[in-house]
Amino acid sequence: MKALLLCEKPSAARRIARALDEEGKPAERKIGRVPYYEAERDGKMLIVVPALGHLYTVAPKVRDRNVYPVFDFEWVPRHLAERDAKEIGEWIEAISLLSKGADEFILATDYDIEGATLGYTILKYACGGKEKEAKRMKFSTLTTSELRESYASLLRSIEFPMIEAGICRHLLDAIYGINLSRAMTIAAKRWSGKYATLSTGRVQGPTLKFLTDRERQISCFVPVPFWRINAKVEMDGQIFDVEYEQKTIKTQAEAARIVEECRGKRGRIEKVEVREFRQKPPVPFDLGALQREAYSLFKYTPRRTANIAERLYLEALISYPRTSSQRLPRTIDYRAILKSLRREPKYRELSEVLLDKETLTPNEGKGYDPAHPAVYPTGNLPERRLSVPERRLWDLIVRRFMAVFGDPAVKQSVRVSIAVDGHIFYLRGRRVLEEGWMLFYRPYIQVEDVILPPLEEGQTVNFKEVSWEKGFTKPPARYNPSSLLKRMEDEGIGTKATRAEIIDTLYTRGYVSGERAVVSELGLDVIDILSRYCPEVISVEFTRDLERSMEMIQNGGERMEAVIEKAIERLRPVLLRLKENEKQIGRELSEAIRKTQMKKRMLGGCPVCGTGQLIILRSRKSGKRFVGCTNFFKGLCKTSFPLPQRGILTPAGRACGECGFPMIRFKLKGRRPLTFCVNSNCPGKKRNPR
């Protein structure tokens, strides 16, 4: 008997083959460049072969990119639809060849919508229609024990309702994304004669609208002045800041009056309020919470965090990360994981503290995912030297896992009310009485105690300083990748697996730039055009409705065909309106593209002439890039500097501290970005030559 065991990636196949082979030493083979493994278990030969993620994709039957609308789609090998997927053909041929000698088929891809859909298409198209007879391995970690248990208790079939929901999602994304993107791209190209990739979709559109709405709020914001009272008091030889009862004062005259009435006076303590409270431990990580925490602590984008977590999962260091669950499985042995982590010196003492507890009960959240539990460490230690980002994320997950078993932290807050000449000031103190779970989560939580001396009601204190300062109200903060991800989660659009990718696409398309997401002219115009001609495609309610329909497909409450048909009927008139207004749309988009591309090239003011702008240019004769001044074309300035001819160059948005010339950001594929001064004669370069 031979069983073909289909995995999602080469590293997963290697680990699964090692776990299932009775001697832990499967034979590694190759068909061309495609690796596979031969393992033996229970008298059966297991052919363990990996995919490379999705080998098939949804593509329109009409291949001409200048045609829309298109509503007839089919599953095709990725290399026939995507230019950068040439190796996929070799992979499909290898799997097809191996499938011909198999008596049994087992799907061992990730147990979620994407993993199930990926496996289904390979079984159906590459293996000759074996999807209905295939069995299923279900696991949340790549540890040897769980993989063997999963193989011993195979599910009798693959998860067809989940697959149907996955197929529906791919079809809807293609129908909306391809048609709307083609409509905009074709309009701009026909107007300007130049090609530029433009895209939108049923999730990308509403997400970009969140950003443009915030951008417009910021641009229309009018600051309002206010005044704030600052004061300090002296007690037992120590100086403490105190807060005035009103956080803001509306007029300068009122602020000056308060200062005059309180300055140089002694205050009387009216009330001392002491409150103790218990702070529960945090809940286990789901993917969204992990992405937000990693951004807050390390400034890793959601996409980067997801990629790092995927590598840790494939190394069997953590459980499957693409989960929306905040609950740990009751089936895992918490003590065994802690005993294993204890082998790592930095976790030894922390593990011992938890192991000394009679029972280990995690504090869990409400989030539930039927496919996978919350993210947790498997207890395995790294088999190789982890990179700094990998080590940081693994440490964060380990410490979070430990923290959920900790006792509540006991904290004390003190609020002292001080009266002076009819005015009230507040002095606040705080301290941690019992660390509890915080012990395990350091250094990722920091609390500064403010310990007050013993105070009694009726006691007088001396005001050392009272003053006012003027401030202005601030506009709402721009989104960053983390807060945008949270907004998408709250609004119920996208999935845990796709949200980070959608945010990444907004940056790639040039709609958004910077850590604090600044929307470009192009991004604003795309939403403006969609708002005028087809507001439904950027509607959160519309997108959320489609998400609910796909959930109902998975639960058996909707048919995929009905959902697709309804979506097409809603999209058809939208595309007709876009086609009718193609010239106007093309003109607006072309102008927005021109402005956005120009802004990407503008580096900053020219310190030599003082009136021009330094810009990235390309020589007509040599084709080489260089920095030049816009006043060159007026015959007023000849400032120019050479630039690297490879890689991506973007403005750094700041001036050099040595010479005042603009800084530029340089990025080569696979390398860390480098920021340098454009001035070849910068004094800093002479002292620190590279």
- How wide is the angle at C-alpha 448 spanned by C-alphas 447 and 450, nearest 5°? 135
* Residues 556, 559: Cα–Cα separation, whole Å: 8
Residue 47: which residues within 8 A CB-CB, separation 6 or more? Answer: 2, 3, 4, 5, 36, 37, 38, 98, 101, 102
Last residue of a domain, one of 361, 382, 403: 403
**Could you tell me which residues are beta bridge partners of residue 623?**
none
Provide the CB-side half-sphere exposure for 25 (13 A, CA).
1
**Tokens of residue 421, six digits:** 């000449």
Q: 265 in a domain, yes or no?
A: yes
Q: 666 in a domain, yes or no?
A: yes
Reported for 542-547, long-range contacts at CB under 8 A and 24+ positions apart, including other chains, are 542/202, 542/570, 543/202, 543/203, 543/205, 543/206, 543/493, 544/491, 544/492, 544/493, 546/172, 546/202, 547/492, 547/493
* Residues 563, 541: Cα–Cα separation, whole Å: 16
pLDDT band at 235 (very low <50, low <70, confident <90, very high): confident
Phi then psi for 365, rounded to 5 degrees? -100, -175
* Residues 211, 538: Cα–Cα separation, whole Å: 12
CATH number at residue 191: 1.10.460.10
* Residues 328, 369: Cα–Cα separation, whole Å: 11
Mean pLDDT of 339-350: 96
Q: Which runs of consecutive H residues, i.e. helices, occur in 110-247?
A: 113-121, 144-152, 160-192, 204-219
Is the distance from CB of 536 to CB of 151 less than 8 angstroms? no
Domain span at 53: 2-158
Residues 506 and 529 in one domain: yes
Q: 660 in a domain, yes or no?
A: yes
- pTM comes to 0.88
- Give the Å distances, CA to CA, from 333 to 34, 337, 340, 364, 379: 37, 7, 11, 16, 10
Residues 32 and 154 in one domain: yes
Which residue is listed with tokens 């029972």? Answer: 359
Q: 78 in a domain, yes or no?
A: yes
Last residue of a domain, one of 535, 558, 593: 593
pLDDT at position 598 is 84
Residues 15 and 134 in one domain: yes
Q: 601 in a domain, yes or no?
A: no
pLDDT at position 648 is 84
Q: Which of 2-11, 404-413, 543-552 has the weakest average pLDDT? A: 543-552
pLDDT at position 687 is 61
CATH number at residue 302: 1.10.290.10
Mean pLDDT of 2-20: 96
Residues 19 and 145 in one domain: yes
Q: 599 in a domain, yes or no?
A: no
Residues 30 and 100 in one domain: yes
Is 320 marked active-site? yes
Question: Which tens digit of pLDDT belongs to each residue from 558-606?
Answer: 999 999 999 999 999 999 999 999 999 999 999 988 888 888 888 989 9
Taking alpha carbons only, the member of 22, 20, 23, 3 closest to residue 12 is: 20
**Could you tell me which residues are beta bridge partners of residue 4?**
47, 105
Split into its structural domains, the chain has a count of 5
Percent of the chain at pLDDT exceeding 70: 99
* Higher-pLDDT residue of 496, 49: 49
Which residue is listed with tokens 């915080």? Answer: 438
Residues 145 and 189 in one domain: no
Last residue of a domain, one of 541, 563, 593: 593
Residues 126 and 192 in one domain: no
Residues 306 and 397 in one domain: yes
Residues 36 and 145 in one domain: yes
* Higher-pLDDT residue of 258, 497: 258
Residues 572 and 680 in one domain: no
Per-residue exposure over 490-523, b if at least 16 CB sit within 10 Å of its own CB, e if not: ebebbbbbbbbbbbbbbeebbbbbeeebebbbbb
pLDDT at position 576 is 93
Q: Which of 120, 176, 295, 320 is catalytic?
A: 320
Residues 467 and 489 in one domain: no
Residues 46 and 105 in one domain: yes
Q: What is the DSSP letter of 32?
A: T
Question: Which tens digit of pLDDT belongs to each residue from 430-453?
Answer: 999 999 999 999 999 988 898 999
Q: 148 in a domain, yes or no?
A: yes
pLDDT band at 689 (very low <50, low <70, confident <90, very high): low
Question: Which tens digit of pLDDT belongs to each residue from 185-196?
Answer: 999 999 999 888
Is the distance from CB of 466 to CB of 257 less than 8 angstroms? no
Q: 477 in a domain, yes or no?
A: no
10 Å Cβ neighbour count for 247?
9
CATH number at residue 16: 3.40.50.140
CATH number at residue 248: 2.70.20.10
